[in-house]
């Protein structure tokens, strides 16, 4: 470091004395070269020496457009700013202003090195970005980029494109106001032109795509990229000879753009399917733990494209789409976890309308899904797989035409065997799938509701306050088996396992649909098995819940109608009737007889008549 120390002292001395002669200028070049050499050998240590000698402010006058060594000095700043600890000091030393001014000079080497220096300083450094913005640096950068699109014969055109786009990336990345300015200045158009002019230059393409990806993080960016169909250019590029690094960048950018439903459709219409399927089948030796593998990225993108209604319809192609064929023939039977997971997620996305669901079940999709449901190998992918399979089965179980087919295929037993799974997201999907399977199926509801172990587990899950979704779904399933079975034996089992309290609590949920489900189940329980249900209802303080619902002016009238039905079913109970009287429920019923909602007032009058008859 002795040479570096000597160079630093000479630079400071020359700068302090204001020496302008030719000899001193030569010495300056030597000093800068020496510092560049030291930075190349040990950037951090050399940077510390330069910082400690307060050299940074001394570089400002050396960056003037008339200074012979401006390009080399800008290069020095660029190398210094590779060190994170030097970026803010560069701003504080005032280096941003002369570097921004240097962007307008006629010497291409100085412009390039200034772009490098500013790009490195701005990396994850908002004070630097704000300084560049206030000095008009973004506008100057766009003038440079636009000149590159109009003339490809400029010296070092490729290198300048790469550096210029890199500067734009570091300047705007995650900075909303600068991203907005860049979009308004026509960033997308300029970047698209650079990309089209440099399709064969992988380094330029890589930097352009990273820059576009940054701009696409915002909704405004996606909208701007939607109009010129930028995604189509990316799909075209995928069909050329690009390396794995650039292909990975393209896939990541397409995934970002595909968050916009319109762009999802553009990507599919551009003919990306064949390329993505080819990539998903490649890299057989890829490390399963490598989330960035092309195979996984391609499969994940296909799944994402299927989340859009129009793009899914196009890919499904009435059951004849190539994606569905490969999902069933290659992905689901694959021994690669990420393809299996992608496969079940794809099935779940295809199964988003009744027609598709019926067709998929007829095509035999249930058996491979059940096979994968039992894949317990302790990996994270196993949880994702179970969650995906259950999501698909839940969708498939919605059409009435499918329920019996799924039951005959053994879906119910497979689901019940998974009730002991202790992973909340899986529990949530499992309970929801069971509820869809029970819906409208009396014999299934009886089978589930008579099993004390199953009902006991549902009651246990109904107490999982740490996961509101699991707790809610467990309670909804309890309500469903009571409603669809209408069985005295089922009601007795639910009562014996402590499920009534859950239903009473559910009746006061913030969601009307859950309130109605609970109230209907409680009314059925009180009707088909009053001897077992009433005592539990009293213990669960059902009178308090009813009083609360009838007194809530914001309560849905349809919910209050179901409350009336529950009150009517409980009037025969002397203890509950006494509670209704003491808590004011009977008075509330009378008041609601004149409610503005005709259906509610009619139901209230019917209950009021029963109350009067009971009192006589």
Decide if pLDDT at 291 tops 50: no
Instruction: Note the Cα 239 to chain centre separation in Å.
Output: 28
* Alpha helical stretches, state H, 334-441: 337-350, 354-362, 366-373, 380-396, 400-408, 411-416, 424-438
> pLDDT-based confidence at 229, cuts 50/70/90?
confident
Please give the backbone phi and psi of residue 517, each rounded to the nearest 5 degrees, phi first. Answer: -60, -45
Between helix 22-41 and helix 70-80 the angle, nearest 10°, is 20
pLDDT of residue 147: 93
Give the mean pLDDT of 285-293.
51
Q: Is there a contact between 237 and 205 (Cβ–Cβ < 8 Å)? A: yes
More reliable by pLDDT, 115 or 614: 115
Q: What mean pLDDT do residues 580-600 have? A: 95
The DSSP H or E segment spanning 551 is: helix 542-551
Burial bucket for residue 197 (CB in 10 Å: 0-12, 13-18, 19+): middle
The tokens for 351 are 């199964």
First to last CA, the chain: 107
User: Which helix (DSSP H) or strand (DSSP E) does residue 563 occupy?
Assistant: helix 557-570
Which has more confidence, 21 or 409?
409
CA-CA distance, 425 to 447, in Å (whole number)?
25
pLDDT at 18: 55
What's the distance, CA 213 to chain centroid? 16
Task: Assess contact for 608 and 589: CB atoms under 8 A.
Answer: yes
Cα(330)–Cα(86) distance, rounded to whole angstroms?
52
Give the CA-trace dihedral at 217, 167, 87, 13, to 10 degrees.
-170
Per-residue model confidence as pLDDT tens digits over 36-67: 999 999 989 989 989 988 899 999 999 988 88
Q: What is the DSSP string of 208-235?
A: HHHHHHHHTTSHHHHHHHHTTTHHHHHH
pLDDT mean over 480-504: 97
Average pLDDT over residues 485-509: 97
Q: What is the CA radius of gyration of the chain?
A: 35
- pLDDT of 508 > 80? The answer is yes
Token digits of residue 127: 């004070």
Outline where 198-326 has alpha helix (H). 202-215, 219-226, 230-238, 244-257, 261-269, 273-281, 294-305, 309-316, 322-326
Q: Which residues contact 36 (CB under 8 A, 6 or more apart)?
A: 72, 75, 76, 79
Q: Which residue has the tokens 């004149």?
A: 594
Report which of residues 239 and 396 the model is more confident about.
Answer: 396
Q: What is the pLDDT of residue 19?
A: 44
> Percentage of residues in the chain with pLDDT exceeding 90?
78
Q: How far is C-alpha 504 from the geometric centre of its chain's CA atoms?
A: 35
- Which pLDDT score is estimated for 13? 61
Q: How far lies 589's CA from each of 144, 510, 527, in Å?
A: 78, 22, 20
Q: What is the pLDDT of residue 239?
A: 85
Q: What is the average pLDDT across 549-557?
A: 94
Three-state SS at 423? coil
Q: How far apart are CA 406 and CA 397, in angstroms?
A: 7
Neighbours of 486 (CB within 10 A): 15
| CA geometry: angle 25, 29, 35, nearest 5 deg | 140
Q: Rounded to whole angstroms, how far apart are CA atoms 551 and 546?
A: 8
Cβ neighbour number for residue 473 with a 10 Å cutoff: 24
Burial status of residue 116 (CB atoms within 10 A of its CB: 0-12, 13-18, 19 or more): buried
Burial of residue 612 (number of CB atoms within 10 Å: 0-12, 13-18, 19+): exposed
pLDDT of residue 299: 96
Q: Which two tokens stand for residue 220?
A: 């405004």
pLDDT at 22: 40
DSSP state at residue 399: S
d(CA 114, CA 74) in angstroms, rounded, equals: 5
Q: What percent of the chain has pLDDT above 70? A: 94
Directed axis angle between helix 219-226 and helix 176-184, to 10°? 20
Per-residue pLDDT at 607 = 96
pTM: 0.85
19 token code pair: 């020496």
Sign of CA dihedral 572, 573, 578, 580: negative
Total residue length of the chain = 616
Q: Which two tokens stand for residue 507?
A: 């009746």
- Look at 136-140, 210-214, 223-227, 410-414 and tell me which has the smallest mean pLDDT: 223-227
Average pLDDT over residues 579-596: 95
| Cα(505)–Cα(542) distance, integer angstroms | 9
Q: For residue 205, what pLDDT is reported?
A: 93
At 26, the pLDDT band (50, 70, 90 cuts) reads very low
**pLDDT score of 154:** 72
Q: How confident is the model at residue 14 (pLDDT cuts 50, 70, 90)?
A: low
Tell me which residue of 337, 325, 246 sits closest to 290, measured CA to CA: 337
Q: What is the pLDDT of residue 599?
A: 96
CA separation for the pair 189, 463 (Å, rounded) = 56
Query: pLDDT tens digit string along 518-540?
Result: 999 999 999 999 999 999 999 99
pLDDT at 570 over 80: yes
- How many whole angstroms separate alpha carbon 154 and alpha carbon 109? 11
Report residue 150's pLDDT band, with 50, 70 and 90 as the boundaries. confident
Residue 15's H or E segment, with its range, is helix 2-17
Looking at every residue in the chain, the average pLDDT score rounds to: 91
In whole angstroms, give the CA distance from residue 63 to residue 82. Answer: 18
CA 136 – CA 140 distance, rounded (Å): 6
Average pLDDT on 15-40 reads 69
């Amino acid at each position: 470091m002795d040479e570096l120390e000597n160079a630093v002292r000479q630079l400071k001395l020359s700068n302090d004395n204001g020496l302008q002669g030719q000899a001193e200028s030569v010495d300056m070049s030597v000093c800068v070269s020496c510092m560049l050499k030291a930075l190349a050998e040990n950037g951090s240590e050399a940077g510390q020496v330069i910082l400690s000698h307060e050299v940074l402010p001394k570089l400002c006058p050396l960056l003037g457009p008339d200074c012979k060594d401006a390009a080399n000095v800008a290069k020095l700043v660029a190398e210094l700013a590779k060190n994170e600890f030097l970026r803010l000091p560069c701003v504080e030393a005032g280096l941003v202003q002369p570097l921004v001014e240097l962007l307008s000079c006629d010497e291409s080497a100085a412009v390039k090195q200034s772009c490098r220096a500013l790009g490195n300083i701005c990396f994850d450094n908002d004070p630097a970005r704000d300084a560049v913005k206030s000095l008009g640096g973004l506008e100057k950068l766009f003038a440079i980029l636009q000149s590159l699109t109009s003339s490809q014969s400029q010296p070092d055109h490729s290198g300048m494109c790469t550096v210029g786009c890199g500067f734009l990336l570091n300047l705007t990345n995650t900075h909303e106001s600068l991203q907005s300015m860049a979009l308004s200045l026509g960033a997308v158009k300029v970047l698209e032109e650079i990309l089209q002019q440099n399709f064969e230059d992988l380094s330029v393409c890589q930097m352009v795509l990273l820059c576009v990806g940054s701009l696409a993080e915002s909704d405004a960016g996606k909208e701007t990229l939607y109009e010129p169909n930028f995604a189509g250019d990316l799909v075209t590029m995928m069909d050329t000879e690009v390396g794995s690094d650039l292909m990975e960048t393209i896939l990541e950018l397409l995934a970002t753009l595909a968050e916009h439903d319109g762009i999802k459709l553009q990507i599919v219409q551009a003919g990306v399917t064949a390329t993505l399927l080819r990539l998903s089948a490649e890299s057989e030796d890829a490390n399963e733990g490598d989330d960035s593998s092309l195979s996984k990225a391609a499969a994940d993108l296909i799944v994402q494209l299927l989340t859009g209604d129009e793009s899914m319809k196009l890919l499904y192609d009435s059951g004849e789409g190539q994606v569905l064929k490969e999902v069933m023939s290659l992905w689901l039977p694959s021994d690669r976890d990420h393809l299996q997971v992608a496969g079940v997620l794809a099935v779940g996305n295809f199964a988003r309308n009744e027609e598709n669901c019926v067709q998929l079940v007829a095509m035999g999709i249930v058996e491979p899904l059940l096979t994968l449901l039992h894949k317990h190998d302790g990996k994270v992918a196993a949880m994702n797989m179970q969650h995906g399979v259950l999501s698909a089965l839940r969708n498939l179980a919605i059409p009435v035409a499918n329920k019996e087919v799924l039951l005959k295929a053994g879906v119910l037993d497979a689901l019940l065997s998974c009730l002991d799974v202790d992973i909340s997201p899986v529990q949530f999907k499992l309970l929801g799938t069971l509820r869809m399977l029970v819906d409208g199926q009396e014999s299934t509801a009886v089978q589930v509701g008579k099993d004390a172990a199953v009902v006991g587990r549902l009651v246990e899950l109904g107490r999982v306050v740490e996961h509101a979704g699991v707790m809610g779904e467990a309670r909804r399933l309890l309500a469903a088996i009571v409603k669809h079975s209408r069985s005295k034996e089922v009601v007795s089992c639910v009562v014996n396992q402590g499920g009534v309290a859950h239903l009473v609590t559910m009746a006061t949920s913030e969601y009307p649909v859950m309130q109605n489900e609970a109230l209907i189940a409680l009314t059925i329980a009180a009707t088909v098995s009053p001897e077992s249900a009433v005592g539990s209802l009293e213990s669960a303080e059902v009178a308090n819940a009813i009083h609360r619902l009838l007194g809530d002016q914001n309560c849905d009238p349809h919910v209050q109608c179901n409350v009336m039905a529950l009150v009517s079913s409980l009037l025969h109970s002397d203890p509950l009737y006494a509670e209704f009287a003491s808590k004011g429920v009977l008075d509330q019923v009378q008041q609601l007889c004149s409610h503005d909602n005709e259906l509610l007032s009619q139901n209230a009058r019917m209950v009021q008549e029963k109350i009067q008859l009971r009192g006589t």
